[in-house]
Structure 1
Amino acid sequence: MAWRDFPYYRGEPVALSAGGWALALGGCVAGFLALIFVPRGPLGGPLGLVAPLLFAALPLIGLALAAGRGWTAIFPRPRLIDILVGLAATILALLVSGGIALAFSLSKLGPFAANPFAGSLPQLHTWERVVFIGGTAPQLLGEELVTILPFLALLTLLHGRLGLSKGAAIAGAWIVSAIIFGLLHLPTYGWNLMQVLLVIGVSRLVLTIPYLLTKSVWSSFAAHLALDWSIFALVLLGSARSH
């Protein structure tokens, strides 16, 4: 695997100032607010594509305003190894999150809340399912951006500004960005803090590993897409068998 480094934290391809990072992270906040507040209409309807597209676009706009042409550094030319690393992480994420969810469902602390959108999938018509599942692609890209951009901002802060070693800065940014990602899922999972930190947050740690290895959002996006679409497939398969 050809070696790549993380962008921005050492000034390559560009250095982002504090104001630049504010623009990039502000785009993440704007994208998340769009995801939450832009009306979606009935599940599986075309209006439901607007919020996911804004969720992906606004962080990229913020990054482009901050980094100019350097915004593409998070998307190096994809390689087969990038995708293979992502798919391997998908298997690990399924095992880890499934194991944690099962352990807590057998304890007095569970069961956890189910994803409400996945549960509604079997009730949709075929075309509505296609629209809904297709719309998850930009949403999952947005989820990658609101994880990876804070990770890179934290890496810049911890290593470049606070002087931590690169390894310690990566570890700190990896953990904190996963916590942030988990907390963003609180409304989806009934404000269950334990669930979003122990299931969603730990799954996010696994899903970020492809980015840590390849320095490519394409890799972590492939992992996330394969994970969620696998879950949708299992839901539909289970529904078909029950009828």
Structure 2
Amino acid sequence: MISMNRTVLITGASEGLGAKIAQAYGAQGYNVIVNYFQNETAANEVVASIGNDQALALQADVRDKAQVAQLVASGKARFDRIDTVVNNALVGFKFDPVAQKKFEDLTWADHQTQLDGTLKGAFNVISSVYPILKTQKYGRIVNIGTNLFQNPVVPYHEYTTAKAALLGMTRNLAAEFGQYGITVNMVSGGLLKTTRASAVTTPEVFQMIAQSTPLQKVTTPDDVAQVVVFVGSEKAGGLTGQNITVDGGLTMN
């Protein structure tokens, strides 16, 4: 059992941005709970890249509260504590500007799918881990957002709406949890090159974003992961209720 180091739980961490976040925390000496939904092989590869003594892969559908409760219990049993939570899981969405439905073709079920994956998922995870953080009088909650609700380059209606709702949750929780030494923030990336969800994005969209960005480049998962590690660390103790955008300056707050 490891108790001397901080422990981070990352949802949807078997690939893409979640995997990069897990590896970045591991490089900083954190114990890492790698949550996955379906891809056990990829999750185990992430664990191996960090070290089997330092990381643990656990399956759970974040939309299922009972599964999430077991995820948190198993992670705490292994590492004795949980200090940081990163709500990264993305359920059933791809950034495909060609296939994206127009508003007139969307149903409420399309929106509900994203609300369940993003908002309900984060709610379940935070509800399960909050008693631990409150007892410790220390915690970092980092929700993964998007710059699309500031600049909807492509109107991904259902995805963007769910992420905007998550920002509302972020700020409400920050206001309530601060008294217990728990910070709650959002880190919002631009369109990332490349993850499974963005693999279908057309080259023209990536090129348009790069040309519109002060840094003249598309944001990478590593760019976002490094900021997530800082926001979820002890060093960011004065930061709460914030939405930090990592997109090379495409949007400016």
User: TM-score, normalised on structure 1?
Assistant: 0.32
Higher strand share: 2
Greater gyration radius: 1
Q: Higher helix proportion, which one?
A: 1
